[in-house]
């Protein structure tokens, strides 16, 4: 006899993940509604496979620090940006994912006033950021959504992936910040923020702009 347990009642330990196969898009949408937005889990869906992950605290902090670094650089460069955080990105019937953080930069002006992100009306975010992602389901979801650039931070290293029709490929430089050694800067600044405090790191980082 099958036992049915409502997903909202399942308590995942930090750092754990469950995978549910053969799930329709309609059931995925219903689960999103049941779980609500006030939760500490991340959801990924791709062609019938649903993954629910409960991140560790160590997972949460780096992506927030990366977001602060990105906005500091963009403000210095005088560029517009919009931070959509972990907004659920959907390609109906195929894929859905909640990035740790995502940004509109090149297309920032196109999402002004947007409070309900519908990717049938807007382009996907220009940059998505993930920490400790090893799931092929997540990469496939980003591929389906055609997110141009994905950063994955893990084990004090940053990897940059660029979208192509053949799949994501790894690169040593970021098209969004072509003049900066991003894969070196980000890990160094994250570690400095953890050791000395995020606000202190940002003060020193911003002060370094005037020296360059």
Residue 7 has pLDDT above 80, yes or no: no
Strand partners, 82: 104
Count the Cβ atoms, other than its own, within 10 Å of residue 24: 11
Contacts of 141 (CB under 8 A, 6+ apart): 44, 45, 46, 89, 91, 95, 96, 97
pLDDT tens digits for 144-156? 999 999 999 998 9
Calpha distance 68→10 (Å, rounded): 33
Across 101-105, 116-120, 183-187, least confident range: 116-120
pLDDT tens digits for 21-66? 999 999 999 989 888 877 778 899 999 999 998 877 667 789 999 9
Q: Has this prediction a pTM greater than 0.85? A: yes
Residue 5 has pLDDT above 50, yes or no: no
Give yes or no for a contact between 168 and 142, defined as CB atoms under 8 angstroms apart: yes
Calpha distance 19→78 (Å, rounded): 42
Instruction: Report the sign of the C-alpha dihedral through residues 66, 68, 72, 78, in that order.
Output: positive
Contacts of 180 (CB under 8 A, 6+ apart): 73, 174
Q: What is the mean pLDDT of the chain?
A: 90
pLDDT of residue 145: 97
Its CATH architecture, for the domain 57-209, is: Alpha-Beta Complex (3.90)
Calpha distance 193→100 (Å, rounded): 18
Q: Where are the domains of the chain?
A: 57-209
């Amino acid at each position: 006899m099958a036992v049915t347990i409502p997903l909202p009642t399942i308590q995942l330990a930090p750092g754990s993940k469950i995978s549910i196969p053969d799930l329709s898009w309609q059931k995925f949408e219903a689960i999103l509604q049941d779980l609500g937005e006030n939760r500490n889990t991340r959801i990924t869906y791709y062609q019938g496979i649903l993954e629910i992950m409960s991140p560790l605290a160590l997972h949460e902090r780096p992506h927030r620090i990366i977001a602060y670094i990105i906005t500091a650089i963009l403000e210095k460069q005088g560029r517009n940006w919009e931070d959509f955080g972990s907004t659920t990105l959907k390609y109906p019937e195929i894929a859905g994912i909640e990035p740790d953080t995502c940004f509109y930069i090149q297309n920032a002006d196109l999402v002004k006033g947007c409070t309900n992100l519908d990717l049938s009306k807007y382009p996907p975010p220009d940059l998505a950021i993930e920490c400790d992602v090893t799931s092929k389901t997540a990469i496939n979801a980003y591929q389906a959504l055609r997110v141009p650039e994905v950063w994955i931070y893990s084990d004090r290293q940053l990897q940059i992936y660029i979208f192509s029709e053949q799949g994501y490929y790894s690169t040593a430089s970021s098209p969004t910040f072509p003049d900066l050694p991003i894969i070196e800067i980000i890990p160094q600044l994250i570690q400095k923020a953890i050791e000395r405090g995020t606000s202190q790191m940002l003060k020193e980082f911003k002060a370094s702009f005037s020296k360059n």
